[in-house]
A and B are shown apart, each in its own frame.
Chain A
Amino acid sequence: MKFLSLLKQAPLSAQFGVLVITLYLIVVIFAPVLAPYGEREVLDSEYLPWGGEYLLGTDNLGRDMLSRLIYGARNTVGIALVTTIIAFVGGGLLGLVAAIMGGWVDQLLSRAIDVVMAIPALIFALLILTIVGTSTTSLIFVIAVLDSTRVFRLARSVAQTVVVMDYVEAAKARGEGLWWIIRKEVLPNVSAPLIAEFGLRFCFVFLFISALSFLGLGIQPPSADWGSMVRDNATLITFGDVTPLIPAAAIALLTVAINFVVDWALHRSSGLKD
């Protein structure tokens, strides 16, 4: 209720964002009910036009595009969410710890992260996924590790500017514990850039999956996911056919919506009145 009244005062863009996210969540949760056909069912001939029996036509195998899209939401959003959360909890915490503790802890963590980051992400993923295989779990794990390094660096560098503030030094002098300092003093002051980063990192996961499918890695069939759907139909765009735009637009819409909400949260946390 409190959220609803808050939402009423929110700018139009944030309201739009919340609406879109809610719609996506409904689709994710009720996918089997909403989808007119099965996820992997081959129904008809391929590339049927829009309208008629199949609202968005059929894909390259004659499966219903709309159903694929709906099921795709489930797989894609689920994976992206889990991955991003792991990356933020892991990378963010380590970054804050490094900034607050300083000294050899900072040095050790930073250099270890440097090593991972110094290996090109796509190559890192290519190597690991080829060695351990491309199950969904390993996919999530690899992307989360890669993302967390980026989050670590951001969290650490933002926290560093906070850590030298008087109130943190005072807390340290008082002998407050590490966890207390993170929670009470540092986190509130570094959340803004981290939230902004979350909005972007989230959609980078889709993009990374679709870049991986470019190299023949990616989600196991016959599961639909938007990144691979874009990739599978990408050559069509060369002929001005808009079919591949649909999953891409689904990703874009979600990205924009999330970031509108993030902007609103950012604005509120900044305490600016205008």
Chain B
Amino acid sequence: MKKNNTSSRTLTTGTTTSHLEAPADLSLARNINRRSFLAGSIVAGATLGLGSLISPNVLANTPNKGGRLKVGFTQGATSDSTDPATFSNDFMFAYSYGVFNNLTEIAPDGSLIGELAQNWESSSDAKTWTFNLRKGVSFHDGKPFTAQDVVASINHHRGDDSKSGAKPLVEDITSIKALDTHRVEIVIGTGNADFPFMFTDYHLSIHPAKGDKIDFTSMNGTGGYTVTAFEPGVRALYTRNPNYWKAGRAHLAEVEIILIADPAARINALSTGEVDLIDRPDLKTIHLLKRRPGIKIEQQTGTKHYVLPMLSDVAPFNDNNVRNALKYGIDRQELVDKILKGYGTVGNDHPIGPSVPYFNTELKQREYDADKAKFFLNKAGLTSLDVQLHMSETAWGSNTVDAGLLYSETAAKAGMNIKVVREPNDGYFSNVWLKKPFCASYWGGRPTCDWMFTTAYAKGAAWNESRWDNPKFNELLLSARSELDENKRREMYFEMQRLVHDEGSTVIPMFGNYVLAMNEKVKHEDKVANNWDLDGLRFMERWWVA
């Protein structure tokens, strides 16, 4: 049941799989035109040896029904709320994707497919979008899913009273209305060819409407799992939704998620069989964990990257020569080797990873070069430089400060004295980030150039962590967003990456892989999504146990 998208006003289309007619093959659900480029780029990533690395012994890869998967998670807090506006850690992301569905979904191969939206079309200026919703879907309590639920769920994040982390995503929406029970029309202020991508965000899960609002306290979704036990900061137990609409998904009978914040405790829990899978295994000892029988390590190149933003309006960072000197003073390969233990790749001082469409393949990789650093320092009229680098474990993980020390050692050889200041974990992102002129931060990354640049590099963006303001860049950002010509758009994004690389105010030394450790029981399809950890955090409905 493929909808024909040849009509000239259709710009992008969603998936077309109906679970009734094309059950087993979700991979058929692929977008044509622009999105096929995205799928292609993922393959390219894989051939570079950066794509999904899956143990070769996954041969008989047919999903096994039933069984219980026990997972040890790092992130989660007693203060977690079921209000989707406040989701901010893996525990809640898994909840969001396990119990609920979104309008759109990023498939394991990286393409955008429809989830609760069966397909969509837009006006030629990419401003008016119509989403056709899936019929015959109901919530866990039996209430049928309709357009009202979508309108209320999106509106939950809009408006002056919204406290949502997704507020910037939906800010540009000027109107949203239900055309009938299964059609929603959304109008946005400036044309955006990537608009449907936004609805894959974990905040924007669809909750049942109750009047104009949504009811998020009853934990009632359309997703593959129902909540059996839910204790924030401690654990959650999910049971399979027997009436799940999506075919070929939600294989496990039960999923239990236990929060284990301590890295050693997580390793022990996996080694002793208390859990089957842990996220973020301690990289310091991962070579030892790998040797344990029955345990496999999996990694996934993603968009997660580590950044050292410098406030570009504060001296000495207001001089681009100083910024360049600092960019040449860091030994990226050493950081990847010693801090990520090889589970990552070097960064090139711009935030676009190789798996993102329009990744600039022509840009030369910047390497550690003390002479060049000195050269730029001299160009700035300086012979030496004294700066403080503020960091805490919250930013890059348990060896953040170590990374800073390595940096300060190599920078010292170029005459730059970087004093590493350890800040308390507590309150780091409200006290240090965006406030100290030179600090450490990280990004989970965004699936598109526009999304990433708009969030953290556009003039005046709330999270423009370096307060960077480059007129040429800002102009390109706006025109690329609604540019429909493939080649022109690529050129623009290439140029923007070069601008950030050469003139940006952020040192981006490395991209981190998503790393998981699990026992042999845990299985998944050969292809795993790389837009987030754990198969785009959709492991609950995609993975199974042998």
Contacts and interface: CB of A to CB of B under 8 A. Distances in A.
Interface in A194-221: 215-218, 220-221
Interface string A50-78: 00000000001110000000000000000
Contact-residue size bin, chain B (C-beta under 8 Å from the other chain): 20 to 34
B83 interface: no
A239 B285 CA distance: 8
B409 A217 contact: no
Given A130-B426, A134-B424, A216-B394, A61 B406 contact: yes
A211 to B, nearest CB: 13
B338 A241 contact: no
B406 A216 contact: no
Give the interface SS of chain B, mostly helix, strand, loop or mixed: helix
Nearest to A238: B264
A8 B325 CA distance: 63
Contact-residue size bin, chain A (C-beta under 8 Å from the other chain): 20 to 34
A218 B423 CA distance: 9
Contact of A235 (B282, B402, B427): B282
Contacts of A236: 284-285, 288
Nearest to B399: A60
A216 B393 contact: yes
Contacts of B409: 40-42
A237 B271 CA distance: 14
A130 B422 contact: no
Nearest to B286: A235
Contacts of B405: 40, 42, 61, 221-222
A169 interface: no
Interface string B256-272: 00000001100110010
B118 interface: no
A235 B409 CA distance: 25
B98 interface: no
A46 interface: yes
Interface in A74-119: none
A238 B392 CA distance: 24
Contacts of A133: 424
A60 B401 CA distance: 12
A132 to B, nearest CB: 10
A126 interface: yes
Given A40-B405, A42-B405, A235-B284, 12 more contacts: A61-B406, A126-B426, A130-B427, A133-B424, A216-B392, A216-B425, A221-B401, A221-B402, A222-B408, A233-B284, A236-B284, A238-B285
Interface of A: 40-42, 46, 60-62, 126, 129-130, 133-134, 215-218, 220-222, 233-239, 241
3 interchain residue pairs of minimum CB distance:
A216-B425, A239-B288, A235-B264
